[in-house]
Amino acid sequence: MNLSPLRALLAPLWLLSVATQAKSFRDNPVIGSRRLNAWGLHAARVSLAHRMARARRERLADRIPASDRQAFERDGYIIRPAFLPEDEFALLRDALLRHESEAREMVQGDTVTRRIALDAATLKALPEAARVLQHADWRALIRYVGSFDQEPLVYIQTILNHVRAGAPDPQTQLHADTFHPSVKAWLFLTDVAEDGGPFVYVPGSHILTPARLAWERRRSLEAASLRDKYSASGSFRIERHELAALGLGEPRCFAVPANTLVIADTFGFHARGPSTHPCIRIELWAYGRRNPFLPWTGLAPLSWPPLAVRRIPWLWRLLDLREQLGGRRNPWRRAGSLCPDAPCAGMTPTARAVDPLGTEAREARAPSAAASGVSPADD
């Protein structure tokens, strides 16, 4: 096979990345090779990654209650209603929803995802959030599900559904994030209705059964050439009618009250549930992923506290720099200084009327005119 000078230069990197969390079939011709995957490359990566995750979780198991371990092993997620004491949660919610900070937004179809980083400056301004990140259960549960003793990336995340003209949100299709176990966590700051874009998860779909492994192998043979860019990038989509053939049941919809914590292994099939109208979901959102082939749980230099709180700004700057140098466009665009529940650019008039808390709750959390120096209309 004739290689261009650039491809010849990149070939060793493509080969080495097989031993990392790299997942794109489209961007890496080794990972995306139909011949190699027919010989079992992708299936071998999936199998080894899951064996390593099981071994790491065994070493972290004593940090969480047996009931949580059993629920996770069965379902792929752990749910904690009323995670914080009521008064503590009210302080956290009010502080986060009032906080204005630099935000980034990503547009996917008719949906906008907004993130505000819990970086050093934000945590200094929000001690309520800093306390949650040090909560023993928050730390232990995320580490167990993610199988690594490391700090996740944490944001204030806002999902604005049906707020602009566009195609349907691609995150509403069931999918796995990647080929190996990884963790995401949601501490919902607002009530989530069944028709308001709830988190959806297929119980038990995190388990690497023979049927799932065979499905992964079949998908890997065609992934590099798929028109579906998400599957081609390693985040396989699946249709609901395919679940039964894998021995799986119907997805669970997490229509839950505020102050519910959900932690899930996103190798399991999950999605953002459908919404029938413009709506806003706000949460404290955490994400953790690392090289799945590492045998150890710790040794994570970037989890050192002075570095951990700087990772998100570094990541955003790196993505900006890549774009400036002619690389792929950074999907996370600067949105200015915003509160989590602020309207976004391009919102339809109907969407602008959405209030995630309701008028009564908003008035209850608004500072008085005497205390704030502004009239209520300026809030």
CATH of the domain at 107: 2.60.120.620
In a domain? residue 372 = no
Q: What pLDDT, on the 0 to 100 scale, is given for residue 10? A: 74
Tokens (6 digits) for 249 = 């049941």
pLDDT over 80 (residue 360): no
> What is the share, in percent, of the chain residues with pLDDT greater than 70?
89
Tokens (6 digits) for 304 = 């050192």
The model's confidence at residue 374, banded by pLDDT at 50, 70 and 90, is: very low
Range of the domain at 313: 5-290+297-362
Q: What pLDDT, on the 0 to 100 scale, is given for residue 245? A: 96
Q: What pLDDT, on the 0 to 100 scale, is given for residue 362? A: 45
pLDDT over 60 (residue 251): yes
Number of domains in the chain: 1
In a domain? residue 370 = no
Instruction: Find where tokens 């752990």 sit.
Output: 78
User: 194: which DSSP letter?
Assistant: T
Q: What pLDDT, on the 0 to 100 scale, is given for residue 365? A: 43
3-state secondary structure of 201: strand
In a domain? residue 374 = no
Q: Are 125 and 246 in contact (CB under 8 A)?
A: no
The model's confidence at residue 265, banded by pLDDT at 50, 70 and 90, is: very high
In a domain? residue 367 = no
31-42 tens-digit pLDDT = 999 999 999 999
In a domain? residue 156 = yes
The rounded distance, in Å, linking the Cα atoms of 221 and 35 is: 8
The Cα angle at residue 361 between residues 286 and 81, in degrees rounded to 5: 40
In a domain? residue 369 = no
pLDDT over 60 (residue 371): no
pLDDT over 80 (residue 339): yes
Q: What pLDDT, on the 0 to 100 scale, is given for residue 375? A: 30
Q: Strand order in 153-161's β-sheet?
A: 77-80, 261-265, 183-188, 279-288, 153-161, 111-117, 101-108, 333-338
pLDDT over 50 (residue 105): yes
User: Cβ of 5: how many Cβ atoms within 10 Å?
Assistant: 7
Q: What pLDDT, on the 0 to 100 scale, is given for residue 7? A: 67
72-100 tens-digit pLDDT = 999 999 999 999 999 999 999 999 999 99
